[in-house]
Amino acid sequence: MTIKKIILSVAKNKPLHIFLGLMTVYAGFSEVWDTIADDFLSANIKAGHGVIFVGTLHLFRSFSEFVESADYLQEGVD
């Protein structure tokens, strides 16, 4: 297996992308969980908040790929 095939198989692995999104959101929340309410009230934005944002965007992108695939499947069935 060439390096190109390995990279493409990892890049196209949808469950892996959902897992990575969930772990990124979890890492962000574990970083700021104790101070999240105080941070938002005082507008003290930290890197952990950015990690939560990036993980959420990654999850939305991964879920949109699943929805798009389901739409194509439905069109094929009809």
Q: Is 43 left (phi over 0), alpha (psi -120 to 50) or beta?
A: left
| Across 55-61, average pLDDT | 91
Q: How far apart are CA 10 and CA 6, in angstroms?
A: 6
What pTM did the predictor assign?
0.71
Q: What is the pLDDT of residues 22-41, one digit of tens each?
A: 999 999 889 888 887 787 78
Under the banding of pLDDT at 50, 70 and 90, the label for residue 68 is confident
The domain locations on the chain are: 13-77
